[in-house]
Structure 1
Amino acid sequence: MSLRWRKNAPRTFVAVLVAPLLIVAMVLTGCGSKNNAKKFADKLKANGFGSVEVTSDKEKKGSKTVLVAYDAHVSVNTDADPAACDVELENDASKSSLANYFDVDDVRDANGRDHDVENDKSWPDNPSLSVLRAELSEHGIDC
């Protein structure tokens, strides 16, 4: 029996060494998602949107909850009246990576109506704030 234990000892030793490394890797992966949210916020700031709060968009896939995108809501006004639209911008994500583009996902106009533009290919990717204002006007959405 002692001979059998000695044969298994190297495997046990390796498992004891590898377990802490796996824990560190999982922690770093979690930090990566926060880093990706910050990258998206920085991308929006560079496109003229100012400081925005970014949230993760997770969906249930079977028994797992999976990160699918990062979302940011921005208030946009296109005319002289004080009413503004709430525009949801979305940056697709998978596991720990972030897509190199973001797009307009949803618009709630000044009257409270939702405009789902996620699948409308006429809206440009990576719009600046001025381009977004022009698109909202072009599509006749009251902001």
Structure 2
Amino acid sequence: MLAKAEGKILKELMNYFTVSNVGILIDTGVFYAFYNRRDTHHLDSICLITHVLEGKFGRPYTSEFVVSETYTLLRYRLGYNTALAFLRALNKSDIEIIFTSKDDFEEIVKVLEKYSERKLSFSDATLIHLSKNYGIETIASYDERSFSGIEL
């Protein structure tokens, strides 16, 4: 039964995300839902992270700001041990954390200015910039408000 559900979830996710072999950028919501059993996207996140770690979406990436945002959410909503478990698991995984530079910072500000009507978070703007800068066409996120209709 679980395998059938996982297959359905993966198929829906593959249709939902624009899949690229270059890689995938992972947003805060995916990590948070993975650790929060009460989150509506919990099972989706387990399936997605499993397939990400198996390399089905190419090389996995996230940003330093997503790590910070995820740690903070987990720390204050689910506790220190869960937040620390996230950091330790991320450190042991093949998910590459992209650290931004001053040049990146200036480009991220431009993204915020360009999409000012969307009320993007700094972290979301960073992912948009990194996707363009690294040629990564896939951002794994449950935040349609931020990424819907933006050409990566």
TM bracket, shorter-chain basis: under 0.3
Between structures 1 and 2, the one with greater strand share: 1
Higher helix proportion? 2
| More contact order relative to length (CA 8 Å, sep ≥ 6) | 2
Which entry has the higher C-alpha Rg, 1 or 2? 1
